Amino acid sequence: MEITNHERIDTDDRNLCKLAISELGAIYSDLNLSQEELDLLEMPKRSFIVHFPVRMDSGKNKMFVGYRVQYNDARGPAKGGIRFHPELTLDHVKDLSFLMSLKCAVVNIPFGGSKGGVVVNPKELSRNELEQVTRGYIRAIANYIGPFIDIPAPDVYTDEKIMVWILDEYERMKGEHVFAVVTGKPVELGGSKARSYSTSLGGIYVLEEAMKRMDMDKFGVSIAVQGFGNVGENAARILHDRGYKVMAVSDSKGGIINKSGLDIKAVMEHKKGTGSVLDFEGSTNITNEELLICDCDILIPAALSDQLNKDNANDVKAKMVLELANAPTTKEADDIFFDKKIMLIPDALANAGGVVVSYFEWIQNLNNDYWEEDKVLERLKKIMITAFNEVHSLCDENSCRMRKSAYQLAIKRILHAERLRGNL
């Protein structure tokens, strides 16, 4: 049976939550957390369920259900995406908002974590209906969001167009311009430059810092990228532009390999014309499974979850894995990589560049001072490199996997903020 996009996204997110939760028990034990600390971590600060009517194109009203969870805001306003998905549940939103709290803490930006959305299949709506659902949802939660309360952003099946509708509806209600209420906007309406490729570039900044620790030479390594969507394609393009040899890439239909290196810009044009990277001139077609175990130095999974698992981890030849996808590596594979001394840079750190540039957008909106692209990139690089070094140092200190040290660092920071506030 063919898997729909909805099912893929739902599976990837649930695997992300499952992977994080599997780590937390051991982390809580290692940190010797008190019951008081556990209670604080295990319950969100605020959860909302809203019901709102929307007049459909048929002229009839239909009721929709929306959620918003602000898990923790001890370190700053809550931050997290809005998604439109037919299988969205409050429990799932809670898990995702907790992970956002951890991600913001890992890269040490002054945000807590939130998440929300509407139970709807946007593919079944007209453009007008989609806009009315968006505006109805924002009217329902408007009193609980804001630049210093909770700042939404794009997520699954939402984009910058929907962020503009959110901005416009919120401003209508408040009677003033409030650009900082939402991030992920077009540059013309307060968005930040470099946002479209910030996740990919943030991961590459981390990768280059990690390579220094591994004594890996830029011109001596070969790279394979699984996934040629926005994140994977941008990662491959940026690496190619910086002089790296990208020898293999893949999309949902399969992959290609050329051990001498691929011309990524030509591959992009080929995919644009044919719908796939397959059959690119001068390359050999391979499967996604073959790409994961090809003879490369650096492997970048940027597609689906659970791609690296107990069945193929022992066959992985890369010396380093950079997780740009959410939860592409299972816990069993993570353990195998640790034993094989393969450096795995976890998703909570590797793909955090997007939320960092969302933070920059928020700062620019608050100050009404918009940065040139070079400044955005310079500040992104500084934050990502600092975060990598902090996570890697803790990893060395405790002789543990980087995923565990990243979550441990995040939890320490959240609890420290709660302690300073007198909540512990």
Q: Which residues are catalytic?
A: 115
How far apart, in whole angstroms, are the C-alpha atoms of residue 254 and residue 417? Answer: 46
User: Going by DSSP bridges, is the β-strand pair 78-85/112-119 parallel, antiparallel, or unpaired?
Assistant: parallel
The tokens for 26 are 């051991």
Q: DSSP letter string over 373-404? A: HHHHHHHHHHHHHHHHHHHHHHHHHHT--HHH
Q: What is the DSSP letter of 229?
A: S
CA distance 76 to 355: 14
Nearest C-alpha neighbor of 65 from the set 57, 53, 56, 82 = 53
For residue 390, give Cα distances in angstroms to 47, 66, 91, 409: 32, 37, 31, 8
Burial tier of 363 (Cβ tally within 10 Å: 0-12, 13-18, 19+):
middle
List Cβ neighbours of 303 (8 Å cut-off, separation of 6 or more).
226, 227, 229, 232, 250, 252, 288, 325, 328
- 102 touches 348 (CB < 8 A): yes
Q: Which of 51, 82, 74 is nearest to 170 (CA)?
A: 82
Side chain identity, residue 60: K
